[in-house]
Amino acid sequence: MVLGIVLAVWLILPIFIKRILRISFFELQAPVGLAASYVRDLQDYWSLRTRSNNDLIAAGRDLVRLNASYEVAIQQNESLRQQVARLESILRLPSLTRYRSEPARVARRDFNGWWQRMTVRKGRNYCITVGAPVIFSGGIVGKVAEVHAYTCTVDLISSPNLRIAATLDGDTRPLSYQGGDNPSFGPPLGIAEYVPTDASASPTSPKRLVTSGLGGVFPAGLIIGEITRLETSTDGLFKTGDVRLDPRLAEITEVTILVPLLPN
């Protein structure tokens, strides 16, 4: 009886009231999750304070080497960027989507059998947009699903509902990637579909899968994972296979959100 009344009231409740309720409850819990994230950062800070000076000197030396190699990469990137701009103007090509990189800390990971999501500590306050690609040093993390006042929610690449236009590294033919099963105690997996029949992959010689740039969400060339198994699909026209994703996805603490820049 009570359940029926609650169900009936809930079903006839106007959508805008439900929307207000959803936003209110989200913003009610948001500071709680964020506070825990800041406390974890503080724990890391104090644990780092216990390191010896020798450790810090060694880390500083490594960083100097890393920075030197990044400086070279930045110069090469700038030269390539100018070359692309020149070719675009000569060939009158539409310019590629440009992105602003927004690094963000992960506040909460929520990986279960139903969905794979994470909350990061930047939202509307940093002009994050829904659908923006999210990456890390190992490749794609996912894309922004919801944006809130100070946080945003990212749908992980391992989420079964996420699909990406992809291609094999070194190939131009498009195929489809979709998040797959996420077994307990194992690495996250995805599924590659519509793979050309002349492609082959095995656990000993996996094929790297990268974004194709089609669809306009993800820039081309970002690493998705490695295809470790391919078999001919039931219609015989394509192959289907398993994609092994980066195991670091499950313990990621910092990501970069690529916010698309408007052409003007």
Partner 1 sequence: MRRTLVTFLSLVLLWFLVSQANHELSPWRISVFAGGLFVVFAALRLERREGLIAVFAAGLLHDSVAPVWFGLHALLFTAAHAFIYHIRQRVHREETLVGVLAVLLANLGIFLGLSFAVARTLPTGIDPWPRLLMDLLVSQLALAAITPWFLSLQSHALAWAGDPQRPDHSRLT
CB-based contact 183:158 (threshold 8 Å) = no
Looking at beta carbons only, is 171 or 193 nearer to partner 1?
193
Q: How far is the CB of 155 from partner 1 (least distance, A)?
A: 8
Q: By CB neighbour count within 10 A (0-12 exposed, 13-18 middle, 19+ buried), where does 201 fall? A: buried
Q: Site residues for partner 1, window 41-60 (CB under 8 A)? A: none
User: Of 105, 109, 208, 229, which one interacts with partner 1 (CB under 8 A)?
Assistant: 109
Binding segment (CB under 8 A) for partner 1, from list 48-56, 68-76, 85-93, 155-163: 155-163
Query: Residue 204 gets which letter from DSSP?
Result: S
Q: How far is the CB of 142 from partner 1 (least distance, A)?
A: 12
User: Of 132, 145, 201, 258, which one interacts with partner 1 (CB under 8 A)?
Assistant: 145
Q: Site residues for partner 1, window 118-137 (CB under 8 A)? A: 119
Binding segment (CB under 8 A) for partner 1, from list 78-86, 104-112, 165-173, 194-202: 104-112
User: Does the protein bind partner 1 through residue 34 (CB under 8 A)?
Assistant: no
Q: How far is the CB of 134 from partner 1 (least distance, A)?
A: 16
User: Of 8, 36, 58, 74, which one interacts with partner 1 (CB under 8 A)?
Assistant: 36
Q: How far is the CB of 150 from partner 1 (least distance, A)?
A: 14
- 234's tokens: 């039931």
Site string (163-182) toward partner 1, x via CB under 8 A: ---------------x-xxx
Query: Residue 246 gets which letter from DSSP?
Result: P
Looking at beta carbons only, is 18 or 173 nearer to partner 1?
18
Nearest to 211 by CA among 255, 234, 251, 177: 177
DSSP 38-82: HHHHHHHHHHHHTS-HHHHHHHHHHHHHHHHHHHHHHHHHHHHHH
User: Of 160, 174, 196, 219, which one interacts with partner 1 (CB under 8 A)?
Assistant: 160
- State the sign of the Cα–Cα–Cα–Cα dihedral 220, 223, 225, 226: positive
- 35's tokens: 């506070």
Q: How far is the CB of 34 from partner 1 (least distance, A)?
A: 11
Q: How far is the CB of 181 from partner 1 (least distance, A)?
A: 6
| Cα–Cα distance for residue pair 180/158, rounded to 1 Å | 6
| Cα–Cα distance for residue pair 104/67, rounded to 1 Å | 20
- 229's tokens: 């198994």
CB-based contact 236:220 (threshold 8 Å) = no
CB-based contact 107:119 (threshold 8 Å) = yes
User: Of 33, 138, 196, 219, which one interacts with partner 1 (CB under 8 A)?
Assistant: 33
Residues making contact with partner 1 (CB under 8 A): 2-3, 6-7, 10, 18, 21-26, 28-29, 32-33, 36, 108-115, 117, 119, 145, 153, 155, 160-161, 178, 180-186, 188, 191, 250-251
